[in-house]
């Protein structure tokens, strides 16, 4: 019985969050322990011939930095390769599902390389999309299933058989784990899940255990970074974003030496950058607060607020001020295993990690159901 059960499990169980700052994933190989992956967000078209030249770097670089994929005649560089070699931007404007196929295929190739898998294997996917884009999940499944059947990579043609697929609105992983920990009380509470990311912000409301469809806006942290870019000159988005995060609520000159482009007027330029960061943060907070007050239930009705996502930690002091009465559960109380934090992602992994736990349980339960049905069939015959 155990042999049959093991055979029904997918070779790869993969949970992905297509964040604007990068694709975050939790991977579990059959019989192995879960681990995290992170791939930069950029995706760009490229020719097969041009991408072929990049294979010379395979032996010297991590696979997540050399990823490209081809589906039919459609070839794309993904992640660091797309940004560093082809000048791709993070691609924040397209809806997430439009690039999700390429990012998923790239992640699967990276996993194949890291875990030394064969060229054909079974995979089960659980994906996160913004609530406002969740209807796109119906379009995404057939696109993924067809593309996974045969796609080109730096190491040749791969075939991944999609034997499991689920798609959830962002925040669903944290909500599922919160429900498990809260128990029966979830049926008596009104709870809001606020997901603050780099690309967008989303809200889902749970009224006595019944989830609404949720709402999404483009008020991610990228809006603040864009304001800083407009008020300064010569700054690179990725470096600036990292410097802003490192500075947290107290930006000082040392946080911005690495992004400053002027050598003769460095002090003046850094002073200007800090002023732009402070004013942009204040304006961004006001815009976000106004939207949240518009879409959230009144504080008299709201029992608890779950705030999660990478931007949540950055704005924690402001959010505490915005919601002085409503109890806040940061990141839904989800604790990230230390073994998954080597990518410095911290709480940004909370949603995808929590969903991976839920998805892994369903995958194992599904294999047990298959085993039980097989046993019944054998007994009847």
Q: Which 8-state DSSP code applies to residue 340?
A: G
CA torsion 112-35-241-66 (nearest 10°) is: -20
Tell me which range, 19-23, 45-49, 236-240, is most confidently predicted by mean pLDDT: 45-49
What is the DSSP secondary-structure string of 186-254?
GGG-EEEEEEE-SS-EEEEEEETTEE---EEES-SHHHHHHHHHHTSSS--HHHHHHHHHHHTTS--GG
Check pLDDT > 80 for residue 342: no
Q: Please tell me the CATH superfamily of domain 2-169+337-373, with its number.
A: ATPase, nucleotide binding domain (3.30.420.40)
Q: What is the reported pLDDT for 372?
A: 40
Question: Rounded to the nearest 5°, which phi and psi values hold at 192?
Answer: -115, 135
More confident residue, 381 or 275: 275
In this prediction, residue 380 carries a pLDDT of: 35
Three-state SS at 316? helix
205 pairs with which residues across the strands? 192
- For residue 367, pLDDT beyond 60: no
Per-residue confidence band for 119, with pLDDT thresholds at 50, 70 and 90: very high
Please report, for the chain, the start and end positions of each structural domain, with discontinuous segments joined by +.
Answer: 2-169+337-373, 185-333
- Burial (CB count <10 Å: 0-12, 13-18, 19+), residue 60: exposed
Q: Please determine whether the domains at 2-169+337-373 and 185-333 fall in the same fold group of CATH.
A: yes
Which pLDDT score is estimated for 243? 94
Euclidean distance between the first and final Cα of the chain, in Å? 17
CA distance 108 to 16: 11
Write the pLDDT tens digit of every residue in 84-115.
Answer: 999 988 877 777 888 999 999 999 999 999 99
Q: Residue 21: pLDDT above 80?
A: yes
What is the average per-residue pLDDT within 34-50? 94
Angle at 350 between CA 369 and CA 352, to 5 degrees: 45
Provide mean pLDDT across the span 38-48.
95
pLDDT at 368 over 80: no
203-234 pLDDT, tens digit each: 999 999 998 888 999 999 999 999 999 999 88
For residues 138-157, give the mean pLDDT. Answer: 94
Q: Is the pLDDT of residue 373 over 70?
A: no
Question: Is pTM, for the whole model, over 0.75?
Answer: yes
Angle of the 96-115 helix axis to the 137-149 helix axis, nearest 10: 40
Q: What are phi and psi for residue 302, nearest 5 degrees?
A: -80, 120
Burial profile 318-330: b = 16 or more Cβ within 10 angstroms, e = fewer: bbeebbeebeebb
pLDDT for 4 equals 34
Q: Above 90 in pLDDT, residue 249?
A: no
Q: Show the beta-strand stretches assigned E in the chain.
A: 12-19, 22-29, 35-39, 43-45, 68-71, 74-78, 120-129, 159-169, 190-196, 201-207, 210-211, 215-217, 304-308, 328-330
**pLDDT confidence band for 378 (50 / 70 / 90):** very low
Question: For residue 191, what pLDDT band results from cuts at 50, 70 and 90?
Answer: very high
For a pLDDT cut of 70, what percent of the chain falls above it?
92
The residues, ordered by sequence, that sit 6+ positions from 324 with a Cβ below 8 Å of its Cβ are: none
Q: 185-333: what fold?
A: Nucleotidyltransferase; domain 5 (3.30.420)
% of the chain with per-residue pLDDT over 90: 70
């Amino acid at each position: 019985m155990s042999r049959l059960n093991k055979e029904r499990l997918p070779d790869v169980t993969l949970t992905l969050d297509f964040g604007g700052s990068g694709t975050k994933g939790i991977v579990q190989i059959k019989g192995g322990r879960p681990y995290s992956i992170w791939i930069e967000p950029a995706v760009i078209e490229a020719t097969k011939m041009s991408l072929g030249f990049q294979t010379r770097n395979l032996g010297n670089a991590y696979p997540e930095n050399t990823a490209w994929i081809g589906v039919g005649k459609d070839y794309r560089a993904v992640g660091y390769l797309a940004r560093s070699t082809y000048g791709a931007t993070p691609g924040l404007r397209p809806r997430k599902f439009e690039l999700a196929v390429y990012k998923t295929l790239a992640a699967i190739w990276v996993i194949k390389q890291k875990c030394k898998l064969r060229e054909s294997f079974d995979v089960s996917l659980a994906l996160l999309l913004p609530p406002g884009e969740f209807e796109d999940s119906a379009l995404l499944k057939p696109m993924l299933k067809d593309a996974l059947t045969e796609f080109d990579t730096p190491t040749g043609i791969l075939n991944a058989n999609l034997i499991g697929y689920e798609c959830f609105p962002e925040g669903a992983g944290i909500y599922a784990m919160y429900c498990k920990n809260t128990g029966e009380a979830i049926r008596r509470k009104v709870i809001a899940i606020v997901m603050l990311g780099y690309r967008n912000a989303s809200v889902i409301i749970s009224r006595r255990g019944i989830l609404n469809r949720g709402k999404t806006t483009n008020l991610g942290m990228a809006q603040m970074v864009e304001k800083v870019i407009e008020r300064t000159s010569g700054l690179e988005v990725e470096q600036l974003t990292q410097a802003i995060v490192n500075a947290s609520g107290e930006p000082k000159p040392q946080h911005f030496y690495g992004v400053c482009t002027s050598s003769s007027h460095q002090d003046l330029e850094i002073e200007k950058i800090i002023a732009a960061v402070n004013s942009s943060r204040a304006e961004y907070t006001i815009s976000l607060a106004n939207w949240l007050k518009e879409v959230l239930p009144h504080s008299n009705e709201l029992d608890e607020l779950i705030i999660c996502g990478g931007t949540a930690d950055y704005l924690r002091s402001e959010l505490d001020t915005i919601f002085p009465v409503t109890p806040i559960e940061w990141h839904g109380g989800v604790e990230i295993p230390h073994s998954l934090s080597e990518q410095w992602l911290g709480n940004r992994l909370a949603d995808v990690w929590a969903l991976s736990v839920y998805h892994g349980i369903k995958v194992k339960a599904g294999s047990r159901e298959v085993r039980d049905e097989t046993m019944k069939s054998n007994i009847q015959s």
